[in-house]
């Protein structure tokens, strides 16, 4: 299951209406996790005053605009690469035990 969180909102000073949101989607599987962050903008979005917004409302706006399947695929790929890495990194003379 993906956990969504709003990290920040941007709003117009003249009318206090939100025009963009910074968000993060996180997924965990057996102790391994993936994270995707993004920013979503709106034009002509239903005008709800800033003080009347909830995280649920903004998340609904985001989920209606982004490709949730693509985000889930990115999260799954990150997790799978941690479970079965395709590359390893390090410097042999700096690592204990090689």
Residues 6+ away with beta carbon under 8 Å from 76: 27, 34
Direct distance between the N- and C-terminal alpha carbons of the chain, in angstroms, rounded to an integer: 36
What is the pTM for the complete model shown? 0.82
> Which residues face 4 on adjacent strands?
25
Residue 87: predicted pLDDT: 87
Q: Give the DSSP H/E element, type plus range, for residue 58.
A: helix 55-65
Local structure of residue 51 (DSSP, 8 states): G
- Locate tokens 């102790």: which residue? 31
Residue 98: predicted pLDDT: 47
Residue 97: predicted pLDDT: 55
**For the chain, domain boundaries:** 3-83
In 3D, which of 40, 32, 47 has the Cα closest to residue 71?
A: 40
What Rg do the C-alpha atoms of the chain give, in angstroms? 19
Residue 46: predicted pLDDT: 60
In 3D, which of 35, 34, 47 has the Cα closest to residue 82?
A: 34
How confident is the model over 6-59, as pLDDT tens digits? 999 999 888 888 999 999 999 999 999 999 999 999 876 667 888 999 999 999
- Locate tokens 């982004």: which residue? 66
């Amino acid at each position: 299951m993906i956990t969504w969180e709003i990290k920040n909102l941007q709003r117009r000073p003249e009318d206090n209406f939100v025009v963009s949101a910074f968000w993060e989607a996180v997924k965990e599987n057996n102790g391994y996790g993936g994270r995707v962050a993004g920013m979503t903008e709106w034009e002509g979005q239903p005008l709800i005053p800033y003080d009347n917004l909830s995280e649920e409302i903004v998340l609904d706006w985001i989920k209606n605009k982004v490709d949730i399947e693509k985000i889930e695929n990115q999260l799954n790929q990150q997790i799978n690469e941690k479970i079965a890495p395709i590359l390893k990194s390090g410097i042999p003379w700096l690592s204990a035990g090689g």
